Structure 1
Amino acid sequence: MKKLWTWGAALIAAVTLAACGGGGDSNGYGSIAVSASTNRVGIASEALTQSIANDAARDECDAGDCQVVLQFEECGAIAQGQTASGAWVWGVGAGGSAFDAQTAANNSCAAKGGQACTEIPNLPAQCN
């Protein structure tokens, strides 16, 4: 009888998880922070709260002036490029997929005058 109850509880849990969109979806919070003085960047995702995501992104950015520049619930990305005068610019974007977020970030960077805006090496788009 105990085995039957265990299997029943497991089945109910699995059905509930599937009905709530569980499994692959983490439904967390994400954040991107940037330091204006050092150009360091931090990205955090899958945090329990937005506040935790913001703190984690600032910690990863690891500079005294890191500021949160994007908060996201699905996917977020940052891109960088250089203007015609050689100045570095960045753009951030959010979207329903990593591709959409990176495209939005690239477009945001280009709108600031960046040329050849692209993903920052080793900082791909993050999804929750």
Structure 2
Amino acid sequence: MLTLRTTALAAALAAAAFMTACGSDDDTYGAIAFSYNTTRAAIVTGGWTQSEANEEARDRCNAGDCTVVLQFRECGALSAGTLPSGRLIIGVAEGRSTLEAQTAANSACTTNGGVSCRDVPGLPPQCN
């Protein structure tokens, strides 16, 4: 009987460790929406479906022209900078962590010709 309890406990601990290692990002979806007219943006995590996350991001962005600019399963980030002409430019990216996502978004913004690309105040990267 002790062996059965030990085996059951070991199985439960292994399952808990597996769930912790995998996280919930395989089960949920995220999205970032952005409005070029108003420069409003929103990031959403934890959607049960990608469509749900997209719709919620557009709703939270709260502008008529909000468009989903990134769909993600792990972590997502938005970066903004300016072109030499002074026009706004953005970059978006997914990563395994908030730091990785933000670094990649900053790089995407710079690659697109942006200057002084950085995170958007009040809109930190987020993970599912």
TM-score range, shorter chain: 0.7 to 0.9
- Map 1:64-103 onto structure 2 (within 5 A): 64-103=64-103
The code of the aligned residue for 1:40 comes to R
3-state secondary structure, aligned to 1:21: helix
Give the one of 26, 32, 47 matched to 2:24: 26
> Does 2:118 align with 1:118?
yes
2:43 corresponds to = 43
Task: Please list every run of 5 or more consecutive structure 1 residues that lacks an aligned counterpart in the other structure.
Answer: 1-10
Q: Which runs of 5+ in 2 are unaligned?
A: 1-8
User: Structure 1 residues 18 and 47 mapped into 2: Cα distance closer, same or farther (>3 Å)?
Assistant: same
SS at 2:58 equivalent? helix
Following TM superposition, the consecutive aligned residue runs of length 4 or more in structure 1 with deviations greater than 2 angstroms are: 11-17, 22-27
TM-score (norm 2): 0.83
Post-superposition offset of 1:17: 4.8
User: How has the CA–CA distance of structure 1 residues 13 and 30 changed in structure 2, closer, same or farther, with 3 Å as cutoff?
Assistant: farther
Query: Aligned-residue CA RMSD in angstroms?
Result: 2.3
After superposition, the Cα gap between the structure-2 partners of 1:12 and 1:56, relative to the gap in structure 1 and judged at 3 Å, is farther
Please say if residues 17 and 23 of structure 1, whose CA atoms lie closer than 8 Å, have aligned partners that are also in contact: no
Q: How many residues align?
A: 121
Q: What is the deviation of 1:26?
A: 2.5
